[in-house]
């Protein structure tokens, strides 16, 4: 397996570092629009994992055009393109990989578009629709596109698959629930507003109409932040208010698993929701460019520049990849399932993976949210490279056997695994 890793930001950085601890691949090209960022990841690997370093290299890429992705994959002989950039680039990287004759994997699917006249009831274009509409092309070429293979979506979908195959005979609801007790402080120790993941992606998924699936209705939407509930998370996090958020699991799970209802709820908190609402009211969530005056030059002259308000917000907030040394706490991703167990009796479980920021910083110099997101694609790449998972077409994680994934994930590193235990709570 020869991997073209597109994106050296927080998640791409963490994924490259994780891959440096494994030996299932022949080479990894870390490619980014900012070459220095890719080079810094490779330099870190050279220092921390010198034995792995010869298999890593850095390259420049502009992933906004499919042809650029195709050219890069062909130039490096890449057999799989691993997409680790903003979901706005999904379509170009996805198409570029197929044109290169390579397999493809991402952690976030092609973007949705709300219904033009009834956004809070009727879905428009759903997450991943662009990719699934091209499934026949991938099948024809005998290539695999594994989509939504991060933590959420990703590990959450694997948990759903495991529950459907091994724990339940009849499922009422599959509900992904994400919560944390993370705190970020400034240099003076004061708590600040600093999203632990890309604000661009956060705005997209939190302000779009949330998607819900019910067997009797199919897919439908609601208003953002709807149906608040208090969910109690393990690993010392405790009760957190969660609300409906648009997410890939709701678009993926019903394609493969039989459940009466599928939801995704995120523990955002009042402050976070308030900031997002304000951004929306001010139009700062928009991706449409607007003209703004630049700062005066050396002669005091100002000019006009075209800037996306959302890109401006992202530019003034701290880079999530740099927050690790100012962050404390634990993040938890998991899947809550209700229904009837294999014995026919009522059952309710929460399958989850929790990770502490202090641990990921100590071992990988990466904050916990981006590191947890990188864990699943590393596992999936290994399962594909070793032939445990295989296939063609466009598929989500639910299309594959969950047990080998969870076994490899939990097996201690000393025994060839990743040493990441996952939990199952009976509720």
Could you read off the pLDDT of 173-212 as tens digits, one per residue? 999 999 999 888 777 778 767 666 677 777 777 888 999 9
Output the CA–CA distances (angstroms, integers) from residue 227 to 126, 203, 224, in the order listed.
20, 19, 9
CA-to-CA distance for 175 and 196, rounded, in angstroms? 22
Is the torsion defined by CA of 189, 195, 196, 199 positive or negative?
negative
Residue 391 phi, psi (nearest 5) = 155, 180
Q: Is the predicted pLDDT of residue 88 greater than 70, yes or no?
A: yes
The candidate with the shortest Cα–Cα distance to 18, out of 37, 41, 36, 40, is 41
Is the torsion defined by CA of 397, 151, 68, 53 positive or negative?
negative
CA-to-CA distance for 120 and 110, rounded, in angstroms? 20
What is the residue extent of each domain of the chain? Answer: 2-150+369-422, 155-281+311-360
CA-to-CA distance for 297 and 279, rounded, in angstroms? 29
CA-to-CA distance for 158 and 105, rounded, in angstroms? 15
pLDDT at 312: 83
CA-to-CA distance for 346 and 342, rounded, in angstroms? 9
Q: Are the beta carbons of 369 and 359 closer than 8 angstroms?
A: no
Q: Of 182 and 5, which is predicted with more confidence?
A: 5
pLDDT tens digit sequence for 135-161: 999 999 999 999 999 999 999 999 999
pLDDT at 53: 96
Residue 7 phi, psi (nearest 5) = 115, 120
Q: Is the predicted pLDDT of residue 34 greater than 80, yes or no?
A: yes
Q: Is the predicted pLDDT of residue 270 greater than 90, yes or no?
A: no
Tell me if the domain spanning 2-150+369-422 has CATH number 3.40.50.720: yes
Tell me if the domain spanning 155-281+311-360 has CATH number 3.20.20.140: no
Neighbour count for residue 56 (Cβ, 10 Å): 23
């Amino acid at each position: 397996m020869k991997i073209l890793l597109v994106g050296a930001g927080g998640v791409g950085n963490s994924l490259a570092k994780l891959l440096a601890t494994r030996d299932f691949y022949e080479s990894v090209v870390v490619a980014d629009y900012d070459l220095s960022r890719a080079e810094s990841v490779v330099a870190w690997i050279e220092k921390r994992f010198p034995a792995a370093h010869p298999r890593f290299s850095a390259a420049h890429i502009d992933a906004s055009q499919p042809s650029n992705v195709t050219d890069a994959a062909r130039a490096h002989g890449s057999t799989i393109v691993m997409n680790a950039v903003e979901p706005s680039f999904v379509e170009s990287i996805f198409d570029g990989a197929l044109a290169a004759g390579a397999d493809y994997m991402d952690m976030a699917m092609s973007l949705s578009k709300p219904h033009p006249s009834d956004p809070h009831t009727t879905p428009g274009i759903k997450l991943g629709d662009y990719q699934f509409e091209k499934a026949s092309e991938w099948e024809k070429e005998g290539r695999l596109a594994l989509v939504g293979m991060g933590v959420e979506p990703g590990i959450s979908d694997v948990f759903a698959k495991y529950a459907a195959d091994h724990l339940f005979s009849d499922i009422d609801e599959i509900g992904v629930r994400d919560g944390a007790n993370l705190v970020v402080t400034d240099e003076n120790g004061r708590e600040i507003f600093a999203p632990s993941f890309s604000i661009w992606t956060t705005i997209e998924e939190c302000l779009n109409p949330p998607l819900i699936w019910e067997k009797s209705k199919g897919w439908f939407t609601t208003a953002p932040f709807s149906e608040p509930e208090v969910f109690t998370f393990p690993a010392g996090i405790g009760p957190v208010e969660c609300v409906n958020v648009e997410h890939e699991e709701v678009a993926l799970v019903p394609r493969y698993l039989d459940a009466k209802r599928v939801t995704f709820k995120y523990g955002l908190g009042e402050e976070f929701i308030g900031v997002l609402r304000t951004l929306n009211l001010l139009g700062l969530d928009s991706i449409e460019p607007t003209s703004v005056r630049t700062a005066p030059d050396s002669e005091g002259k100002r000019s006009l520049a075209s800037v996306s308000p959302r890109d401006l917000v992202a530019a003034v907030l701290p880079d999530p990849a740099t927050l690790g040394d100012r962050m404390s706490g634990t993040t938890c991703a998991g899947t809550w399932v209700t229904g009837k167990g294999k014995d026919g009796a009522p059952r309710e479980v929460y399958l989850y993976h929790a990770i502490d920021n202090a641990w990921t910083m100590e071992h990988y110099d990466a904050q916990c949210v981006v590191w947890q997101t990188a864990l699943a694609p590393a596992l999936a790449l290994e399962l594909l490279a070793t032939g445990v998972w295989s296939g063609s077409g466009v598929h989500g994680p639910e299309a594959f056997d969950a047990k080998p994934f969870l076994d490899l994930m939990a097996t201690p590193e000393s025994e060839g695994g990743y040493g990441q235990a996952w939990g199952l709570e009976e509720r």
